[in-house]
């Protein structure tokens, strides 16, 4: 496949894309006008593709001097009514955090998506932070794709959601989602606006205490309205395999591993896949909890959803067991795989599940020192 095909292939065609390449196509189908980034694995391929096709696509693209600048470029574009897309690795959001938090308060006029590429197992990073926590800290809607097709589709959905509620949207991918390949059904590329117009409004864009207290109130109102959408969104779906002994709540890459284990072992379970995962759909999750006997929460890195589920259990005085990271059923560290999910589920169903053949790690391999990516200014 040629990189140019990500731009030129027509609606109805299919491409075999990386998750990161699918994000590019999704942005183009969403009518993006401005794209900015500071490169960092596992998000880097998004920038590599935009660098090659931006001029032909009629998109302004820049490699910014750091993540904070990149975010502010996209915020400025969205404030002028253009659709913008900024992406970075998970720790890059720390660099951009000051502007990120304020941008959620001021809101946007054009749709804006912030993509955080998290790195479970720290394959190319200094920590394993889970930026779903940043979504809750900032008060920003959160999308969690599980495959390249969802990455592509959620880009357009995210732009529409952002414009509807005048708020940026955060998409959380992981290394596995960024770098997995899958067949992606294409939609129509929409040419973004060439020019925006910034209308001055100090009450919206100047975050001083006098204005911020009003912005905070408006943000909570938006989140309550968006929660109504998460409750009824087709992005959050139940997969019923014909049993109620175990209900599994999952998202992102963990969903793929859950489905592998369930299919291989023909388990009779119910699964709630949360793709539009914040604001957390309390009523949807409550109904799901009431429909099963035990709950397993399968998510990568921090027990973010598990704590939300436990809060619902406590709020409604429900006497059911919740399995996950906090009780040791699943590990709190590193990337998951089907064997990890299988081992955890075996504790609940009380039977041995299929184990996959493991490759030997004792092969004599030459030592290689860790290096930073070619072209990285930190190298």
Q: What is the pLDDT of residue 373?
A: 72
Residue 276 lies in a domain: yes
| Overall domain count for the chain | 2
pLDDT at 52 over 80: yes
Q: What is the pLDDT of residue 17?
A: 97
SS3 track for 223-289: HHHHHHHHHHCCCCEEEECCCCCEEEEECHHHHHHHHHHHHHHCCCCEEEECCEEECCCHHHHHHHH
Q: What is d(CA 121, CA 374) in angstroms, rounded to the nearest whole number?
A: 21
pLDDT at 358 over 90: no
Residue 371 lies in a domain: no
Q: What is the pLDDT of residue 356?
A: 66
CATH of the domain at 58: 3.40.50.970
User: Which pLDDT band, with edges at 50, 70 and 90, does 42 fall under?
Assistant: very high
pLDDT at 157 over 80: yes
pTM listed for this prediction: 0.94
**Residue range 320-346, pLDDT digits in tens:** 999 999 999 999 999 999 999 999 998
Q: What is d(CA 252, CA 21) in angstroms, rounded to the nearest whole number?
A: 17
Q: What is the pLDDT of residue 14?
A: 96
What is the enclosing helix (H) or strand (E) of 364?
none
Q: What is the pLDDT of residue 357?
A: 62
Q: What is d(CA 133, CA 286) in angstroms, rounded to the nearest whole number?
A: 21
- Both 167 and 242 in one domain: the answer is no
- Both 311 and 332 in one domain: the answer is yes
Q: What is the pLDDT of residue 361?
A: 66
Q: What is the pLDDT of residue 127?
A: 94
Strands (E), the chain: 14-18, 34-37, 60-63, 84-89, 112-118, 142-143, 169-174, 181-185, 237-240, 246-250, 270-273, 276-278, 294-298, 322-323
Domain hosting residue 342, numbered range: 237-349
The answer to whether the beta carbons of residues 64 and 87 sit under 8 Å apart is no
Residue 316 lies in a domain: yes
- Both 139 and 159 in one domain: the answer is yes
Residue 172 main-chain phi, psi, to 5 deg: -105, 115
The answer to whether the beta carbons of residues 237 and 250 sit under 8 Å apart is no
> If you ran DSSP here, which 8-state letter would residue 20 be given?
H
- Return the closest-CA partner of residue 39 out of 76, 73, 3, 86: 86
- Both 220 and 314 in one domain: the answer is no
Output b/e per residue, 12-25; b: 16+ Cβ within 10 A.
eeebebbbbbbbbb
For residue 366, give both structure tokens: 């030459």
- Both 251 and 224 in one domain: the answer is no
- Both 207 and 265 in one domain: the answer is no
Mean pLDDT of 189-208: 92
- Give whole-number Cα distances, 33 to 57, 173, 337, in Å: 9, 22, 37
pLDDT at 359 over 70: no
Q: What is the pLDDT of residue 51?
A: 96
Mean pLDDT of 33-49: 95
Higher pLDDT, 98 or 375: 98
Residue 96 lies in a domain: yes
Residue where a domain terminates, one of 176, 203, 230: 230
pLDDT at 27 over 80: yes
The answer to whether the beta carbons of residues 115 and 154 sit under 8 Å apart is no
Q: What is the pLDDT of residue 303?
A: 98
Neighbours of 315 (CB within 10 A): 10
For residue 75, give both structure tokens: 């915020």
- Both 310 and 282 in one domain: the answer is yes
- Both 249 and 219 in one domain: the answer is no
CATH of the domain at 316: 3.40.50.920
Mean pLDDT of 257-263: 95
pLDDT at 379 over 80: no
Residue 186 lies in a domain: yes
Residue 377 lies in a domain: no
- Both 50 and 127 in one domain: the answer is yes
Mean pLDDT for the chain? 94
**Residue range 204-244, pLDDT digits in tens:** 899 999 999 999 999 999 999 999 999 999 999 999 998 88
pLDDT at 40 over 70: yes
Q: What is d(CA 343, CA 336) in angstroms, rounded to the nearest whole number?
A: 11
- Both 123 and 144 in one domain: the answer is yes
- Both 77 and 139 in one domain: the answer is yes
pLDDT at 371 over 80: no
The answer to whether the beta carbons of residues 230 and 173 sit under 8 Å apart is no
Q: What is d(CA 153, CA 275) in angstroms, rounded to the nearest whole number?
A: 12
**Residue range 263-318, pLDDT digits in tens:** 999 999 999 999 999 999 999 999 999 999 999 999 999 999 999 999 999 999 99
132 contact partners, CB below 8 Å, separation of at least 6: 142, 144, 172, 277, 278, 302, 304
Residue where a domain terminates, one of 230, 255, 287: 230
The answer to whether the beta carbons of residues 1 and 129 sit under 8 Å apart is no
**Residue range 73-130, pLDDT digits in tens:** 999 999 999 999 999 999 999 999 999 999 999 999 999 999 999 999 999 889 999 9
User: Which pLDDT band, with edges at 50, 70 and 90, does 366 fall under?
Assistant: confident
- Both 226 and 241 in one domain: the answer is no
Q: What is the pLDDT of residue 65?
A: 94
Q: What is the pLDDT of residue 354?
A: 67
Residue 365 lies in a domain: no
What is the enclosing helix (H) or strand (E) of 110?
none
Residue 357 lies in a domain: no
Residue where a domain terminates, one of 210, 230, 250: 230
């Amino acid at each position: 496949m040629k990189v140019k095909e990500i731009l030129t292939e027509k609606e109805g065609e299919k491409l075999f894309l990386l998750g990161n390449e699918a994000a590019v196509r999704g942005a183009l189908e969403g009518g993006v006008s401005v794209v900015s980034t500071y490169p960092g694995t596992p998000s880097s391929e998004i920038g590599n593709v935009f660098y090659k096709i931006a001029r032909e696509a009629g998109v302004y693209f820049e490699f910014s001097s750091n993540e904070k600048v990149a975010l502010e470029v996209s915020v400025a574009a969205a404030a002028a009514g253009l659709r913008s897309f900024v992406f970075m690795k998970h720790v890059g959001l720390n660099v951009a955090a000051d502007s990120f938090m304020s941008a959620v308060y001021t809101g946007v006029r054009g749709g804006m998506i912030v993509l955080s590429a998290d790195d479970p197992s720290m394959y190319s990073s200094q920590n394993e932070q889970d930026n779903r926590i940043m979504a809750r800290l900032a008060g920003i809607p959160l999308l969690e794709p599980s495959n390249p097709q969802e990455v592509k589709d959620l880009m357009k959905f995210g732009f529409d959601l952002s414009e509807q509620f005048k708020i940026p949207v955060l998409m959380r991918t992981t290394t596995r989602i960024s770098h997995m390949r899958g067949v992606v059904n294409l939609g129509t590329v929409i040419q973004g606006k060439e020019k925006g117009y910034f209308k001055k409004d100090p009450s919206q864009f100047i975050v001083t205490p006098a204005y911020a207290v009003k912005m905070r109130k408006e943000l909570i109102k938006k989140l309550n309205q968006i929660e109504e959408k998460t409750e009824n969104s087709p992005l959050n779906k139940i997969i019923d395999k014909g049993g109620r002994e175990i209900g599994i709540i999952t998202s992102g890459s963990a969903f793929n591993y859950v489905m592998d284990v369930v299919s291989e072992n023909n388990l009779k379970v119910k699964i709630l896949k949360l793709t539009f995962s914040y604001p957390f759909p309390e009523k949807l999750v409550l109904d799901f909890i009431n429909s099963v006997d035990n709950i397993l929460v399968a998510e990568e890195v921090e027990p973010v959803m598990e704590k939300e589920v436990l809060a619902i259990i406590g709020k409604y005085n429900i006497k059911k067991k919740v399995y996950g990271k906090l009780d040791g059923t699943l590990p709190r560290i590193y990337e998951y795989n089907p064997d990890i999910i299988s081992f955890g589920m075996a504790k609940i169903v009380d039977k041995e599940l299929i184990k996959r053949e493991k490759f030997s790690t004792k092969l004599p391999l030459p030592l290689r020192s860790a290096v930073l990516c070619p072209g990285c200014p930190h190298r």
